[in-house]
Amino acid sequence: MQVVITGGTGFLGLALARRLTGLAGLTGVSGRAEAIDEIVLFDRTVPDAPPSGLDRRARLVADDVTDRQAVEALIDDDDVAVFHLASVVSAGAERDFDLAMGVNLDGGRNVLEAVRRRAGVPRVVFASSIATFGGTLPDVVSDSTKHTPQTTYGMTKVIGELMINDYSRKRFIDGRTARLPTVIVRPGKPNAAASSFASGVFREPLDGAPCVLPVTVETRVAVIGLRTCVDGLITLYEVDGAALGPDRAVNLPALTVSVAEMMEAVGKVAAERGRDLGPITVVPDPDVQRIVDSWPARTEAGRARALGLSGDEGLERIVSDYIDDFLAQP
């Protein structure tokens, strides 16, 4: 079978591709476990050669998800599994409304229409976000909480969720939506997401570099570790669609932590692992603070857990996993 990952050379897409490389297979359109013959990493820009951790089955494709013909040419196997991760993220979507609408909405529909044209009913996993919630919220946000997003990014994710539901109802696809909290720890450079600080508070200090936080230390956010997130995407893919019913979206299990607790965790793990930390300073940015404050800090994921998705042990484990996965030991 063919596996297509949009946003495939991004942080989450690449981690997912590496995890899939080590699997024996996935459930195919037939309903049976099938070997993965090809893993297609589709993104606007791709490296010249496949990144480490992949094998000969990996194929990198550079193109734009807003180009319908390119997407249809990409998804060219009836026995296909799709993980749709491509998106203009939070702060970037606020700065460029038209780009967000093009990539997040038009691009999302291009993917769904391409899958719809395949024989059978392929499974599609869509990466949504807890940014679909906003405004006046209960203390704990559940899957049934009303969506009132306060960002363009969140709005486009709500529409994406509804498209997944309706395309599934029509039996065009067998869709499922993973509503993600902030995924940490992202390696490399900061990106345009308002949540970028939640990785930066670990990444830069562990690299010995200074970190400037754009939010207060009291700020609380819902987070999930990269390993747990990837496992959740795959587990959700494997869930029988009948168990999801008409609402295909689930909150992934999250930890609720403050920025102060993040700082404490990175300091403790760094001391245990013998790593010197770069300095952390707090310089709140009102625009970033406003966006982050609009997101729910506490989420309930009983539905996901009932479907077999698990959560993280704690922040310290996430930091240790990041060091093991991405950093050379001193």
Looking at residue 147, the DSSP 8-state letter turns out to be P
**Cα distance between residue 119 and residue 70, in whole Å:** 19
Antiparallel, parallel or unpaired: β 33-34 and 26-27: antiparallel
**How far from chain centre, in Å, is Cα 116?**
23
Q: What token pair was written down for 252?
A: 């992934």
Candidates 134, 141, 152; CA nearest to 294 is 134
Report the distance separating Cα 41 and Cα 169, nearest Å.
28
Please confirm, yes or no, whether 153 is among the known catalytic residues. Answer: yes
- Are the CB atoms for 132 and 148 separated by under 8 Å? no
Verify cis geometry, omega within 30 degrees of 0, for the bond prior to 185. yes
Q: Which helix (H) or strand (E) holds 80?
A: strand 80-84
Query: And the tokens for 88?
Result: 């203009």
Question: Strands 174-180 and 80-84, how do they pair?
Answer: unpaired
Backbone angles phi, psi at 71, to 5 degrees: -70, -40
CA quadruple 70, 108, 80, 228: dihedral positive or negative?
A: positive
Pairwise CA distance, residues 93 & 209, whole Å: 28
Q: So which residues are the catalytic ones?
A: 153
